[in-house]
Structure 1
């Protein structure tokens, strides 16, 4: 849901008409921290251009654009940026990865910094409907108020946001909160059944990459951190490096890492190949009936990746555990008894 809202905003904004200001071109510049990049590619409606990157990481160029969201990419790194003729933007990359974020200064900075904050919101726990659905009514109301206050603070901080963004953004926020309020009662009741301390749904005799069969009961006596994923899922694959790091750091702890693929049967060989090529660790399992598997359905999983934490007695610790890339996952694992 949160990704849908964010992508809807981008698609809508890209389709808008050109709006020329005092200058009929955009100036963008900055310094890349990503190593070994000689060119940036910028793509938008009617625009596809390469920008040279100097050896020290600096770049600068002028462009004529159609007002809207553009895609800035280098190698496998990507970042969205809102451009309009008349902008004079400086991009301050926070780290080597584009996903570390970008801070903007100059003309057009407020609109882009606002979009950066909104993207961060929708990719955070506050942008995840399950964050709200698992709460009782009083806490639910308080969490909604917290989210609305945060979004309001963005608007108060970035006051000169492009009117087009403001209009589209208001619609997206309304859709998000309408979805949460409309579905709260039904989803809350479902999540109560998967609350901490409840008996976990189980899987039986799932195919193990090593050729054996594995059931959840085989893992009793250890905490079990489950990753539900698929070979076609880009966000799932983005978590792999972080998952490997977790597995390495907690190798000698009383916790077993399990990855369950929900690929369809015709992708079975693709699963085997990816496990081998990416040197995936932990216990690698293949669900019997992908999303129709009893275990998957009983956990109400309809989007991936999804992470689950189960205790040594087979009881639920967290039915929607933090991702390996999150800042809270190690706090969770470190506090296990």
Structure 2
């Protein structure tokens, strides 16, 4: 009788252990949170919404396919590596999102590596890389790839993650090479007359580039769904305030699709976006967007008072080099 009971108990424990391996637990404690929902997004349109509970914690169980995911709080996002069996805990301060991410629990080592990699990437000198000639670019890109692979090897992470992230590094290297070639094409636009536009103005009517002749024009091509675009908004407002009254117009051109037109209108109002806010007539297929070869956003463009392109891929508002340039041009 005892042996039968023992056998049943062992079987139940085995089933319990098996069940635990078929899902993961995720918990997040966030200071200065941007909202009461978190979203985990992944392959094959995977989406899990996690609501804040009564204890002020985001907590839920998920069943996933092992791989790379994104955690989004509605404003910021970060990479995750998830697999069933993990018991992952996250703490962060939303005001210092990337800098404050710390994971604990099962799966923490790989995810802390991803968080630290995001900070490493933020401080990498990409402007220098893309300003290099072709020979120097290839050398710098190879060096970056080797450095990234060494960081991964030195971290001594689990083999499945290491193999997966090795492919991420190789893919990122290919993306850099492709982006560099596109950049070289864009640079050829500089000093030439700018393609024009005539788009609906949020304040009413339409605005065309020729209406702004006689002033510098700094254009922000963006969309309401674009996280990096939204992250630039506070910096854009600061730049606009710094150069208020100077000989320059700040123009936002949304490439949201027509179905998101009302979302764009509301977004501009609720976020109190300044400058001239325009809605492109055919999102990514708008003539102005295609003429500049824009395939990723945000994209910034600087045009001179005569309508010629100063920089077809200008620095972002968050870059100190932009304010330095504008200070020189508008003095």
Structure 1 position 136 matched with structure 2 position 133: yes
Structure 2 contact 75–230 (Cα < 8 Å) conserved: no
For the aligned residues, what is the CA RMSD? 4.5
Q: Name the CA distance, whole Å, in 2 between partners of 1:280 and 1:46.
A: 30
How big is each residue's C-alpha offset from its partner over 1:204-246, in whole Å with a ceiling of 9 and x where there is no partner?
4433333344332433443322111234545434433443333
- C-alpha offsets along residues 127-171 of structure 1, whole Å, 9 cap, x if unaligned? 7xx9866642133224314522542453365x2222212101111
- Tell me whether 294-303 or 81-90 shows the greater mean CA deviation: 81-90
For residue 186 of structure 2, the aligned residue among 188, 191, 195 is 191
Aligned position for 2:208: 215
Tell me the distance in 1 between the aligned counterparts of 2:77 and 2:178: 34
Q: In structure 1, how many angstroms separate the alpha carbons of the residues matched to 2:141 and 2:80? A: 28
Q: What is the aligned counterpart of 1:175 among 166, 171, 188? A: 171
What is the aligned length?
308
Q: Could you say what secondary structure the match of 1:225 adopts? A: strand
Distance in 2 (alpha carbons) for counterparts of 1:287 and 1:297: 11
Q: What CA distance in whole angstroms lies between the structure 2 residues aligned with 1:262 and 1:27? A: 38
Partner of 2:152: 155
1:111·1:160 contact (CA, 8 Å) conserved in 2?
no
Higher radius of gyration, 1 or 2: 2
- Cα distance change on mapping 1:234 and 1:240 into 2, 3 Å: same
Q: TM-score, normalised by structure 2?
A: 0.68
CA distance in 2, matches of 1:263, 1:74: 21
- What is the Cα deviation at residue 53 of structure 1? 7.8
Residue 34 of structure 1 corresponds to 32
Q: Map residues 232-243 of structure 1 onto 2, 5 A cutoff.
A: 232-243=225-236
Q: Which segment drifts farther, 255-264 or 40-49?
A: 40-49
Q: Distance in 2 between matches of 1:120 and 1:331?
A: 25
* Alpha carbons 2:250, 2:275 under 8 Å: kept: yes
Distance 1:267 1:39, change over 3 A: closer
Structure 1 residues 50 and 160 mapped into 2: Cα distance closer, same or farther (>3 Å)? farther
Structure 1, gaps ≥5 residues long:
1-19
The answer for unaligned runs of 5 or more in structure 2 is 1-16
Q: With structure 1 as the length reference, what TM-score do the two structures score?
A: 0.67
The offset of 1:282, in angstroms, is 0.2
In the alignment, is the contact (CA less than 8 A) between 1:125 and 1:131 conserved in 2? no
Change in 2 beyond 3 A, CA 1:259/1:60? closer
1:285 partnered with 2:284: no
Cα deviation digits, residues 18-42 of structure 1 (max 9, x gap): xx9xx98989888633259889888
**Alignment check: 8 A CA contact 1:32 1:96 kept:** no
* Structure in which a larger fraction of residues adopt helix: 2
